[in-house]
Amino acid sequence: MSTPVRIGIVGAGAVVVHGHVPSLQAIPGVQVIAICDTNLARAQEAAAKFNIPHVFADYRDLIARDDVDAITVAVPNVFHAPVAIAALEAGKHVLCEKPLATSVEDGKAMVAAAEKAGKVLAINMSNRPRPEILMLRQMAQAGRFGKITYAFGRMLRRNGIPGYGSWFTRKELAGGGATMDIGVHMLDMVYWILGFPPVSTVRGEIQAVHGPYERGLGGWGADHVPGGTFDVDDLAAIHLRLANGGLVTIEVTWAIHARNEERIQIAGDLAGADYFPDLYGRDHPLRIYRTEDGVPVEVAPDVPKKEWAWAEGFRHFVAACRGEGAPLATGAEGLAVLRLLEAAYRSAAAGTEVRV
């Protein structure tokens, strides 16, 4: 019999309805007992659909409940810090959506609040549990690539601007655009595969190409406001110079005249890997390159199939709430990635590489 874990969810938008609730309700012993959204009708609709007993418009009312052991936070990025900190101070475990916060200062306060409360602060880096990412991470951590001196991650969306005119495209609420929304995923994946090595400098090239003209819109997000504000970025290239001399390059777009694409390359002095389903096909999307007895060898490993890996982080979080292991991604790791993103914005504004 699993220890019961009673969860409240703050936010009832797209990621909660498609991700948080189904992921949590599939875990034995978990009860989603409360949901909150400033748009009360949206929270009520989710509560009716998923059979969630308690509904609130103000997160403080949800956090005040004694029967909530843990919360998940899925509200506009700028509210991650106040909601998470209030919950931690009330003795709740927290799984926060990405990015951890909109500033390093807020992120630090969240990590400090978790340490002070002795509670779990996890971040939903939902791409980590994908089988190909796990395989790359395991290979890198087992030393199979040798010394890694080059890594590349690209996530291009052709028409993928979410929630145009809503919080997603307003800097004061989101902290940034494609960089904060999907740059955080790609940087986290690659940086996690490498094992969070020390970084010496960051260079960011960050642009708003299509958003200001209301082009390149996608369907994601609960709210869309035609003619609304777009004062964030939709294209970013971020270069990290590692302390060991290595280079990491990340490229992401919300909108671009190119096809959707995802690619991750890892190259060390012993071997390299290339995850590129567009080139190698979905069945064997990963290639390992090495040299054996002077002969170049290319291997297409069987990447295990995993049904809806997205939910995996929630299973780790619930286990961590039960004192059974660590979250898949910690608040401290979310903070480390946020520091790099913030440095990329600083670099882009200054037009020069910055030290971190």
Ligand X SMILES: NC(=O)c1ccc[n+]([C@@H]2O[C@H](COP(=O)([O-])OP(=O)(O)OC[C@H]3O[C@@H](n4cnc5c(N)ncnc54)[C@H](O)[C@@H]3O)[C@@H](O)[C@H]2O)c1
SS3 assignment, position 287: strand
How far, CA to CA in Å, does 187 sit from each of 221, 249, 287, 300? Answer: 22, 9, 21, 24
φ and ψ at residue 225, rounded to 5 degrees: -125, 95
Closest to ligand X by CB, 111 or 271: 111
Angle between helices 104-117 and 80-89 (to 10 degrees): 10
Nearest-approach distance from CB 174 to ligand X, in angstroms: 8
Nearest-approach distance from CB 78 to ligand X, in angstroms: 9
Amino acid at 138: Q
Q: Residue 36: which residues within 8 A CB-CB, separation 6 or more?
A: 8, 9, 10, 11, 12, 43, 55, 56, 57, 58, 59, 61, 62
Nearest-approach distance from CB 236 to ligand X, in angstroms: 15
Residue in the shown chain whose Cβ atom is closest to ligand X? 13
Closest to ligand X by CB, 50 or 59: 59
Nearest-approach distance from CB 353 to ligand X, in angstroms: 27
> Residue numbers of the site for ligand X (CB under 6 A)?
10-16, 36-39, 42, 59, 74-77, 79, 97-98, 124, 126, 163, 166, 181, 221-223
CA dist 312 and 128 (Å) reads 9
Closest to ligand X by CB, 123 or 139: 123
Nearest-approach distance from CB 232 to ligand X, in angstroms: 12
Q: Residue 75: which residues within 8 A CB-CB, separation 6 or more?
A: 10, 11, 13, 59, 83, 97
Closest to ligand X by CB, 16 or 309: 16
Nearest-approach distance from CB 350 to ligand X, in angstroms: 26
Nearest-approach distance from CB 193 to ligand X, in angstroms: 18
Closest to ligand X by CB, 13 or 183: 13
Nearest-approach distance from CB 233 to ligand X, in angstroms: 15
Q: Residue 95: which residues within 8 A CB-CB, separation 6 or more?
A: 70, 71, 72, 73, 120, 122, 123, 124, 313, 314, 317, 327
Closest to ligand X by CB, 15 or 47: 15
Task: Give me the long-range contacts of 273-278 (CB less than 8 A, separation at least 24).
Answer: 273/136, 273/139, 273/145, 275/132, 275/136
SS3 assignment, position 255: strand
Closest to ligand X by CB, 11 or 285: 11
CA dist 114 and 15 (Å) reads 24
Closest to ligand X by CB, 82 or 301: 82
If one counts every other C-beta atom within 10 angstroms of the C-beta of residue 317, the result is 30
Closest to ligand X by CB, 272 or 334: 334
For residue 99, cis peptide bond before it (omega within 30 degrees of 0): yes
Nearest-approach distance from CB 220 to ligand X, in angstroms: 6
Cα angle 178-14-21, degrees, rounded to a multiple of 5:
125
